[in-house]
Structure 1
Amino acid sequence: MKRIFWLAGLAAATTVIAGCGSTTDDAAGGAATAGSAAAATPKLAVVATTPEVADFVRNIGGADVDVTQIIKPNVDPHDYEPTPADLQAIAAAKLVVKSGVGLEEWLDRTIESAGFDGTVVDSSAGVKLREGGHEHGHEEEAHAEEEEEHAEEHDPHIWHDPRNAKIMVTNIEKGLAAAEPAKASAFAANLTTYSAELDKLDKDNAAAWAKIPAADRKLVTNHDAFGYYIQRYDLEFVGSVIPSMDTSAELSAKQLNDLVAKIKSTGTKAIFAESSLPPKTAEAIAQQAGVKVVAGEDALFGDSLGAPGSPEGTYLGAERHNTEVLVEALAG
């Protein structure tokens, strides 16, 4: 209930901000010449929720889209709280693209508060979802209410398998083409090019892991975000500092002791911190277990990407970083 009132307040604030800006916009429009108004075709306005999805939209949309990314790098998407600027961007967009699988639990209420009447593209449509180590079909025609009810049972970190990323960008290409049919051929060409890069990423990852003995492919991370990656490259998930796919969960004393014991008994070599989560608990567990913590610049990108402009600021760069860090640490 508190969140509903808070979103209502944001919506009201957004309306006031938009109203205050109308006079300036009218004045600017009056000063513009007819020639300049017709000179450039406006880009397709797209709001993307997460850094990964925003990067996918930029790669498929290219110069024909104007992307507003809601969640910034190293911000936890699980408990994100939208801002007035987010509501304004959504209200002005023609398309909203989400990662899906319940990752953005705040999005539906935010869209309603913004008065958005455009199209929402669920990039997860068609991905086989993990639930307790099992796969489940996720069909496009599934009812939204049923998906919301059961989303917490599925692992939302689907992009860590490049094959899922290919499904996501295909869904995005379809959404962009439907919203801007005149640019469909450009979007399709971009999809072909980017899909080839995803194939190469998958091949390179597999080749890197082929050099690591199966007995050494043991993974302990900050939270349970790498299930699809683990499944794809045949790793063993020993456990996580946060015992959940949701970062708000906490280890009990028994779970902490059990994790330390499991790290020791399995011969796990390291605990891997994540860029969007503090490493303190991981460091404490590692000290008890007598293993190293991989953190700082080598922290994994679980829920986020790196800083804009850095190699890790793209999906491809972040995933390459993850594989390089993991392989190097576990090979030693």
Structure 2
Amino acid sequence: MKHRQRISWVAAAAATATVLAGCGDGGSDRAAASAASAGTALAVVATTPEVADFVRNIGGSDVSVTQIIKPNVDPHDFEPTPADIKAIAEAKVVVKSGVGLEEWLDRTIEASGFRGAVIDSSQGVKLREGGHEHEEGEEHADEEEHAGQEHDPHIWHDPRNAKIMVANIEKGLAAADAARAGAFAKNLTAYASELDLLDAENEAAFAKVPAADRKLVTNHDAFGYYVDRYRLAFVGSVIPSLDTSAELSARQLTDLVAKIRATGTKAIFTESSLPPKSAESIARQAGVKVVGGEDALYGDSLGAPGTPEGTYLGAERHNTEVIVAALGG
């Protein structure tokens, strides 16, 4: 029902967006190209906080970024506004996270009359199937074997995937503004080194945690790539889904509490963009601590602008520091 309402809203906005986009005649495309040739910043719309931060790092002062989804807003329950449609209509480039995370985007782009380039930052990332529990060391079958299954869109939680994402962004920006391709390439080299450092730091941090204690329970199933990369064991999630629309049944709740107790899991981690009440309730029943408040993990979002956690690197470092500390590393 909610999905149909979103579609109706976007369709109703199409008339307004057509005016904003110059009646779909490519006017915004020509205006953006003219602005680039005049030395002004390339107008880029980025959907999520993560990809917006990637674009800022790769584009530097040569891009002007409009971020659609604000910090601590659940991307699985997002509805675009007229201002979002206007921003897309006026942009030269749209950058998305991909893997179906922005199910609203295609119709919004159509409604806006956007004629520029869309960069899918997920291209080339090896996807994992979602909606299942994954134990430490589990190998995932080849993508072709699981055609039709839902893929996990939270790809950025593995820094190696983040490197693929920023490389895709650099390629797309260079294609949109060839005169600045050299600057984009230089920024990519520098930022890729930062991602390598983050990955190495995370590995070193988890090396201090005994393997038997590397067990994770979160608000929803957002950390699959992180779990696989750092050889953790995913025990379960408060919301048993890749998105945030599902709810635990009474039986699932009882099973999760039992599994937490049986596995010796030490904590339940809340997430910054989700309410903590259910996690707190389950933690009480299971007799474990709940990690939240300022220590809530960044699963779908980043922190406030201007804070260390307001960047991808800062949010991921925060996640690792909180998890390692809670698990006894």
Letter in 1 for 2:57: N
- SS at 1:278 equivalent: coil
Deviation at 1:39, TM superposition (A): 11
Matched, 1:251 2:248: yes
Letter in 2 for 1:184: A
2:26 is matched with: none
Letter in 2 for 1:5: S
Spell out, residue by residue over 1:83-121, the C-alpha distance to the aligned partner (whole angstroms, 9 max, x if none): 000000101111100000000000001000011111111
- The counterpart of 1:128, out of the listed 126, 129, 135, is 126
1:86 is matched with: 84
Spell out, residue by residue over 1:62-83, the C-alpha distance to the aligned partner (whole angstroms, 9 max, x if none): 0000000000000011121000
Deviation at 1:236, TM superposition (A): 0.3
Deviation at 1:15, TM superposition (A): 5.0
Matched, 1:170 2:167: yes
Deviation at 1:38, TM superposition (A): 11
- SS at 2:88 equivalent: helix
Deviation at 1:182, TM superposition (A): 0.4
Matched, 1:198 2:201: no
Deviation at 1:13, TM superposition (A): 3.5
Give % identity. 77
- SS at 1:323 equivalent: helix
Letter in 2 for 1:253: A
Deviation at 1:17, TM superposition (A): 6.9
Deviation at 1:137, TM superposition (A): 5.0
Distance 1:41 1:84 in 2: 28
**Pair 195,277 (structure 1): closer, same or farther in 2 beyond 3 Å:** same
Contact 1:220 1:238 in 2 (8 A): yes
- The counterpart of 2:180, out of the listed 169, 179, 183, is 183
2:9 is matched with: 6
- The counterpart of 1:265, out of the listed 254, 262, 265, is 262
Aligned length: 305
1:225 is matched with: 222
Letter in 2 for 1:114: S
Distance 2:63 2:143 in 1: 31
Deviation at 1:9, TM superposition (A): 2.1
Distance 2:45 2:318 in 1: 26
- The counterpart of 2:99, out of the listed 92, 101, 116, is 101
Letter in 2 for 1:2: Q
Contact 1:128 1:135 in 2 (8 A): no
Distance 2:247 2:45 in 1: 32
- SS at 2:94 equivalent: strand
Distance 1:136 1:282 in 2: 33
Letter in 2 for 1:327: V
2:211 is matched with: 214
Contact 1:49 1:69 in 2 (8 A): yes
- TM-score normalised to the size of structure 2? 0.89
Contact 2:21 2:89 in 1 (8 A): no
Deviation at 1:42, TM superposition (A): 1.7
- The counterpart of 2:55, out of the listed 43, 54, 57, is 57
Deviation at 1:41, TM superposition (A): 1.5
Query: Which runs of 5 or more residues in structure 2 are unaligned?
Result: 23-34, 135-139
2:150 is matched with: 153
Contact 2:36 2:42 in 1 (8 A): no
Distance 2:281 2:5 in 1: 35
- TM-score normalised to the size of structure 1? 0.88
2:312 is matched with: 315
Contact 1:129 1:136 in 2 (8 A): no
- Larger deviation: 7-16 or 187-196? 7-16
Query: Which runs of 5 or more residues in structure 1 are unaligned?
Result: 20-36, 139-148
1:285 is matched with: 282
Contact 2:174 2:180 in 1 (8 A): yes
Contact 1:306 1:313 in 2 (8 A): yes
Distance 1:8 1:122 in 2: 23
Distance 2:230 2:36 in 1: 52
**Pair 242,90 (structure 1): closer, same or farther in 2 beyond 3 Å:** same
**Pair 17,188 (structure 1): closer, same or farther in 2 beyond 3 Å:** closer
Distance 2:37 2:234 in 1: 56
Distance 1:303 1:111 in 2: 22
Distance 2:160 2:124 in 1: 11
Give 1 or 2 for the bigger CA radius of gyration: 1
**Pair 14,165 (structure 1): closer, same or farther in 2 beyond 3 Å:** same
- SS at 2:60 equivalent: helix
